[in-house]
Amino acid sequence: MSEVRTERIGSTLLITIDRPQARNAVNAAVATQLAAALDELEADPALRAGVLTGAENTFSAGMDLKAALKGESPDIPGRGFGGLTEAELAKPLIAAVEGFAMGGGFELALGCDLIVAAEDAKFGLPEVKRGLIAAGGGVLRLPKRIPHHLAMEFLLTGEPVTGHRAGELGLVNRVTPAGDAAAVALQLAEKLAENAPLALAAVKKIVRAADPKAVQREEIKKLMQSADVREGMTAFAERRAPKWTGE
């Protein structure tokens, strides 16, 4: 039985973690299948963005502790927790969060480029309550996303906040009524898909680079030689929508 479902909606790949009996917790099977779904997104030029969500109004409760106690690993070598948190994807990925995004579930959301959350969603990093730390990106990423002391409150107390509060903190891009997160995320993905795919990939590469200025110089040189940049300029001059080829 597949524990990660994919559905193509226009130029977007909707990826759904589907283990509602375990609150969509991540075990080895979920990690393997999620990595495969992300490979599907990256490999198909017709797909411009992805949306990651969870089945039955729960994003993910994080690592499956029962599976971990049996020796299962929720990590994929070179790709991190769930096959996502260390993956270097070229295409934009949006988290659509309903219900719980706890521990590794929160870290999956942090591994995405944008986050859309229902106002009653719950974000938390409770690892310290289990004798662990948020090693799937939480400790490293969260202090870069929100002010230091607010990030430390998440990391040291393990207490959750609502989607509404996450919006106030600037942690999420959109806050929606309950049940609307995936729909709004898909609309946002459509908006991203209007832009040049090579340019989107270049932005992502520069943002995550250790030496962003050097990478930016390299990426700009490549973009200026692309067919898409000529198409973008021509379309602007001709007052029409561009037709991107990704070349």
Residue 243 in any domain: the answer is no
Residue 9 in any domain: the answer is yes
40 and 136 fall within a common domain: yes
146 and 209 fall within a common domain: no
Residue ranges making up the domain that contains 233? 197-237
145 and 42 fall within a common domain: yes
* Residue 212: predicted pLDDT: 82
Residues with active-site annotation? 107, 127
Residue 244 in any domain: the answer is no
Q: State how far the Cα of 103 lies from the Cα of 60, in Å rounded to an integer.
A: 9
109 and 19 fall within a common domain: yes
How is residue 97 written in tokens?
């969060």
> Could you tell me the pLDDT band of residue 210, with boundaries at 50, 70 and 90?
confident
Residue 247 in any domain: the answer is no
132 and 64 fall within a common domain: yes
149 and 33 fall within a common domain: yes
Per the structure, the count of domains in the chain is 2
Q: What is the pTM of this model?
A: 0.94
Give 63-105 pLDDT, tens digit per residue: 999 999 999 999 999 999 999 999 999 999 999 999 999 999 9
Give 167-185 pLDDT, tens digit per residue: 999 999 999 999 999 999 9
Over residues 11-24, mean pLDDT: 97
214 and 156 fall within a common domain: no
Share of the chain above pLDDT 90, in %: 92
168 and 208 fall within a common domain: no
Return the HEC string of the chain.
CCCEEEEEECCEEEEEECCHHHCCCECHHHHHHHHHHHHHHHHCCCCCEEEEEECCCCCECCECHHHHHCCCCCEECCCEECCCCCCCCCCCEEEEECCEEECHHHHHHHCCCEEEEECCCEEECHHHHHCCCCCCCHHHHHHHHCCHHHHHHHHHHCCCEEHHHHHHCCCCCEEECCCCHHHHHHHHHHHHHCCCHHHHHHHHHHHCCCCHHHHHHHHHHHHHCCHHHHHHHHHHHCCCCCCCCCC
